[in-house]
């Protein structure tokens, strides 16, 4: 094949791959989540497997349904492979091509036909207090309004991260965690929960047993 024909073939393949990439629909909303992200919740009507302590207040201040088309998730890049066909002169050439596209790993979706709920909570933890080990039924955002909290993750090596006033975090669904106030002043946080439709307020927190990886963190 002549150099001119090779260039013509490569240009045609690139155009075909570009069209295939543009046809892929990417979810419309993503929220960046790091390994150190966290959020907390507390329900005074729940009996706890690992009881909270020192909770001064934890009211749900507002909640309501979300019926717009929204996807909550974490960004990711995926590789797509396609077979493209291009005509070069009188020949039809097939070639397998791969390309990367931005996408989202879905954690929860809301839509008019299947709305989700959101709830806002204000939580105050006295010095020495903690939430106990728990999870949430949906992804959660938290902002620290006052004090400093130490968030323990119930995974290998029991990593901990400190979050001070003016910081905010994202908590993926099902991650077992325990927020402790190891400072000398009250810890105040505000949490935004994305919840499956109809989740009662008493089920915003799901109690979990103390992780084997965190034997010294009640």
Mean pLDDT throughout 82-104? 84
Q: pLDDT tens, 167-213?
A: 988 888 889 999 999 999 999 999 999 999 999 999 999 999 999 99
Boundaries of every domain in the chain: 3-29+74-107, 53-69+111-207
pLDDT at 4 over 80: no
Q: pLDDT tens, 40-53?
A: 444 443 445 788 99
pLDDT at 17 over 70: no
Residues 81, 82, 86, 91, CA torsion sign? positive
Q: What is the pTM of this model?
A: 0.69
53-69+111-207 CATH pick, 2.60.40.2580, 3.60.15.10, 3.90.550.10, 2.60.120.10: 2.60.120.10
Name which of 97-101, 117-121, 193-197 the model is least confident about: 97-101
List own/partner pairs for 209-216 with CB under 8 A and 24 or more apart: 209/49, 209/50, 209/133, 210/49, 210/50, 210/133, 211/133, 211/154, 211/155, 211/158, 211/176, 213/154, 213/155, 213/156, 213/157, 213/158, 214/133, 214/152, 214/154, 214/158, 214/178
Which pLDDT score, from 0 to 100, does residue 171 have?
86
- Whole-number average pLDDT of the chain: 82
Mean pLDDT throughout 122-147? 95
């Amino acid at each position: 094949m002549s150099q001119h024909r090779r260039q013509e073939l490569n240009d045609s393949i690139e155009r075909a791959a570009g069209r295939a990439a543009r046809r892929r629909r990417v979810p419309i909303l993503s929220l960046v989540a790091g390994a150190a992200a966290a959020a907390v919740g507390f329900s005074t009507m729940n009996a706890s497997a690992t009881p909270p302590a020192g909770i001064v207040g934890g009211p749900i201040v507002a909640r309501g349904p979300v019926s717009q088309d929204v996807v909550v998730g974490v960004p990711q890049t995926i590789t797509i492979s396609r077979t493209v066909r291009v005509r070069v002169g009188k020949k039809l050439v097939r070639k397998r091509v791969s390309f990367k596209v931005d996408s989202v790993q879905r954690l929860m979706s809301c839509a008019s036909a299947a709305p989700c709920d959101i709830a806002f909570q204000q939580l105050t933890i006295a010095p020495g207090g903690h939430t106990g080990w728990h999870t949430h039924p949906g992804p959660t955002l938290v902002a620290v309004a006052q004090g400093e909290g130490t968030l323990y993750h119930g995974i290998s090596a029991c990593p901990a991260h400190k979050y001070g006033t003016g910081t905010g975090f994202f908590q993926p669904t099902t991650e077992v965690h325990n927020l402790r106030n190891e400072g000398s002043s009250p810890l105040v946080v505000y949490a935004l929960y994305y919840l499956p439709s109809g989740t009662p307020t008493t089920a915003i927190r799901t109690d979990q047993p103390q992780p084997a990886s965190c034997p010294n963190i009640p």
